[in-house]
Structure 1
Amino acid sequence: MNENISNDIIKHYLHTLTQRAWLAPLMYLLSGGALLGLSTNLAKLAGDIQLPALAFLFWSIAGAALILLVLAAFRRNLPPVNARTIEYYAISGLLGVAGANLLFFSAIPHVGAGFVALIITLPPLLTYVGALALKMERFQVLRAAGVISALAGAVTLAFHKLSAPDANYLWIFLALIGPVLLAIGNLYRTLRWPEGVSSDALAPGMLIAAAIILLSVGFLPGFSLNVPTERSLPFLLITLQAMVFAGQFLLLFLLQKSGGPVFLSLLGSVGAVVGVPVAIVL
């Protein structure tokens, strides 16, 4: 009798743990996706007030890196610095932050925040295909059907954008490179995750690397890191975007660790659910 009771307690405990194991990634996904959708619309507002995309992105990323670095210092969990982690920060920062976001933010004034919010739903398919090719995932009909169905509407609307008479093909093409970089970044961060390093230590390291990359781009001809000082609105938008980025990329690493690259890539789908309606309202 006692043995049966003990077995029932153990089964109930394991069932509770399983439920909680799915709850955390789901909450990370919904929260991170909401912040991603908000981020695209803040970038649209920044473009409307003639704030250069590079300047907006650089100062926002630098602010987010500072926020997460202070948080990591408070928790005594600063980003480790060695050859392995520097490689990780640099490549993750280039693919998942600096490269993809610079393309997205630069494209928004030309193709609209709604279109960018839609194409960030493309990484799930690309990530899933990459994960299958690298044998990080086993093929599952239900999962494949879910990913494809989630992308169907976005792909349809993307083709509709291309067929519009005033379509800017160059910026549409450049914007579509962004999801490819995000998908590669999703796979890279999982494959090369430094052993024994926590999410809240890796996030500020990646953002610092991204800020350095964007700073170097600012020295190239045709780019500027200057922020207009005539009004306070640009500084307000940068502050809001920095806070959004801090939360978004911290949740990204937490989701990467708990849910894997394919589940992580669904951030774009959640971001579109939030980003497109907000873009329409704005």
Structure 2
Amino acid sequence: MNMTAPYVKEHLNNGISTIEFFHPAHNSLPGDLLAQLAEKIEQAGKNDEVKVIVLKSGGDRTFCAGASFKELVNIDDEETGRVFFSGFANVINAMRKCPKFIIGRIQGKTVGGGVGLASATDYCMATKFASIKLSELNVGIGPFVVGPAVERKLGTSGMSQIAIDANSFYSAAWAKEKGLFAQVYDSTEELDEAVEAFAKDLCSYNPEAMKEMKRMFWQGTEDWDELLAERAKISGRLVLSEFTKNELSTYK
């Protein structure tokens, strides 16, 4: 068996659905993995056996390095670009619409689209190594698709700060202070223990109450299907700009 093959898998145990993704390139997410991730979240949302969802990634270093650079550098028309950037939009919208609480388990650094995924969870727990960065401006685009999710958690001030300062990693402590992380732990072992205990607690609560609470928390985001689709178009257009093509060529 290939231990470095990309995957999205789900493990269901005592009402807890653990959805895990992995890619050998620092858990970056190409289109096919994003589609699988959105589908797994939708399915878990519809499964009556599932009381709560834990979203995590494989490996111990990086939670998610964002979009797949390999796919990004090969975009050569607006429609391909729109479809590519819609991948993260579809996952964020699946998380938003899912009637179950989603706990984020963030073990390490997270960049770009990964910050969007962490922001779209309902309760996010991390290690002290989970620094965050929105690096999109570096290559001539911006965090358009993930922006609404990140802004909802960090506020406009926090989001604009990390989006403009595209070279810097911001610490897990900073992310906790701004409201992205609920708890920060010293090690992955402590994080996993805490996530498991918290998920078990949630399984003992009234599913109907949690469903109504989730709906309440996400009130005001009903237009995100259209909004994120529009944002994907902007990114799809910008990725074809001469500036971005030049920047991306250095990564080839």
One fold, TM greater than 0.5?
no
More helix by share: 1
More strand by share: 2
Higher Cα Rg: structure 1 or 2?
A: 1
TM-score normalised over the length of structure 1: 0.25
